[in-house]
Chain A
Amino acid sequence: MRYFIKRIISSIPILLGITLLTFAVMHITPGKPTDIMTDMNMKVSAQAKDRLQKLYGLDKPLHIQYAQWLKRFVFFDFGTSFKDSRPARDKIFERLPATILLNFAALFFTCIVAVPIGIYCAVKKDTFIDKGLTVILFVCFSIPSFWLALMFMILFGLQLGLVPISGLYSFNFDDMNIFMQIADISKHLVLPVAVSVIVSLATLSRYARSGMLEVLKQDYIKTAYAKGLSQKQVIFRHALKNTLLPMITIIGLSIPALIGGSFIFETIFSYPGIGRLGYEAVMSRDYPVVMGIATLSAVLTLLGNIIADLSYKIADPRIKYR
């Protein structure tokens, strides 16, 4: 518990840095956010432009703008969207569940597929199967995710017509009963999750493989073999647990990649999550929404790291953090 509190406190400077960095990026880049409302419209006079900037506080000095924004950040109040004047917080939070659903499903299935592959490769090290799987994983690692998404859309969505290729709900979603709704959502999730699993498969299974190889070198594995246990028993009873432990950290560390990936997937699959909202906000220079999303995803990443460290510590008491 003390460690937990320490960890939280030590991440406050990072948190501040995150807010400062987003703020800097937004303000170093040329162009005012109100431009999109004024430049396109010939009728807007110079005075009206000034008034608009005053309304959003863009005429104040930078440090005051930052301080104001920081104050509101504590309440997750990112201001109102320039696009439809709705609070950015509401816009983001209503999209959050869809993104979390997609990422958790992706992470879950990645683990289910990657860990057994990695362990199998470690046990069968240097055989034909190990090498073959390694090559396949390498190809997966090099595939452009958006291209794979495109190919899957063509193949499974258009040619075979097996699964829907965009969105999260069918148009008649509201008329369905609860089971049909679940089935409908799952069907829409198949393609994005599959693409996400395939491109992140390599990292996790390589970690599982090298972790397993490391464990198999340990003395207690030799002891277990010496006791006369079969290979199966050694692997599943003794080696597996110790291989999975360090994986917890890797999963925590893969969160930024997952969030980063969702910007691409969600845009391609027209998935109603944070990623597509972020893309649209960036394209229309919707500052409050962009800053909200950037900060939120950075905070989520930070949180993921803390949780990973913590659960690792609980799972393996030998680990000590300073």
Chain B
Amino acid sequence: MKKLLKNKFAVLGISIIALLILAAFFAPVISPYGQSEQNLYQRLLPPSSEHFFGTDDLGRDVFSRMIYGSRISLAVGFISVFIILFIGTSLGIISGYFGGKTDSVIMRFTDIVLCFPTFFLILLIIAFLEPNIFNVMIVIGLTSWPGLARLIRAEVLSLKEREFISVAKMMGIDNLKIFAVHILPNIISPLMVYASLAIGGAILTESALSFLGLGVQPPMSSWGQILTSGKDYIYIAWWLSVFPGIAILITVLAFNLIGEAIRDVFDPKEEYVRK
């Protein structure tokens, strides 16, 4: 942990996230206007000292809506990654540890899910379910675990040959305890790397879905959703599309920086794939 704090990028990433969490938490205090407070006399105003990031087509303050939007992004990021971690880690451990038929069934299933363009799969499910924030979290979680399952399986495969695992097995310790006490702590660093990159990925996916109108529904606001109106008013209101995009970029970047820093510190091999 100390090593991590020596890494410049890690510190930068962590401070950005901390700031964001504060903003999300104290949103009603920080934002100068209400989340959906409309003022039809002040539609599509450019940025000024009164409206830092301008106003949208209904006269709502973009800055305030973005502060509230940070709640959505963080919630989606953390909750869907929690689901990914749960499914991916359990399937990976089970597959790697037991081997044999269990392994091949799980891995074939993983191969199948990997064959689908994840975004289309998500688009498909969301479009048929009711588009709301909870479905978005669950669906991102349910579709994005295969990479992690493979990673964890590979780690466990090499881990289970090590002596402390065979000793634990010989001592008759039950499997669940071996998983929790002996295997999990040893895969925690690749897990953390994957998690922070996946949070970034989930935030990107959520914003893309909201942008297509399939994510967060009004009157709630999310960064992707503000960008939709940015597209509609692309000719006259640049501020609607510039600021939310930068917010997404910085947030995702912060999570990626943290992931990369953890990797640098704990595990110097490098490999990452954009989802």
Contact = CB atoms under 8 A, between A and B. Distances in A.
Interface of A: 13-14, 17-18, 21, 25-26, 29-31, 138-139, 141-148, 150-151, 153-154, 158, 199-200, 202-203, 206-207, 210, 253-254, 256-257, 259-261, 263-264, 267-268, 278-279, 282-283, 285, 290, 293-294, 297-298, 301-302
Interface residues of B, number: 50
Contacts of B244: 147
Contacts of B47: none
Interface stretch (B61-69, B82-90, B226-234): B226-234
B224 to A, nearest CB: 8
Contacts of B183: none
A253 B127 CA distance: 27
Contacts of B275: 257, 260
Interface of B: 108-109, 111-121, 123-125, 127-129, 200, 204, 207-208, 211-212, 224, 227, 230-231, 234-235, 238, 241-242, 244-245, 248-249, 252-253, 256-257, 260, 269-275
A254 B112 CA distance: 16
Contacts of B273: 203, 253-254, 257
B191 to A, nearest CB: 20
Contacts of A263: 117, 119-120, 123
Given A203-B272, A260-B120, A283 B127 contact: yes
B270 A210 contact: yes
Contacts, number: 149
Contact of B249 (A143, A200, A256, A260): A143
Of A30, A146, A283, most B-chain CB atoms within 10 Å: A146
A256 B116 contact: yes
B128 A144 contact: no
A21 B120 contact: no
Contact of A282 (B127, B230, B256): B127
A283 to B, nearest CB: 6
B116 A153 contact: no
B234 A151 contact: no
A279 B253 CA distance: 28
A25 B124 contact: yes
Given A142-B249, A298-B115, A282 B124 contact: yes
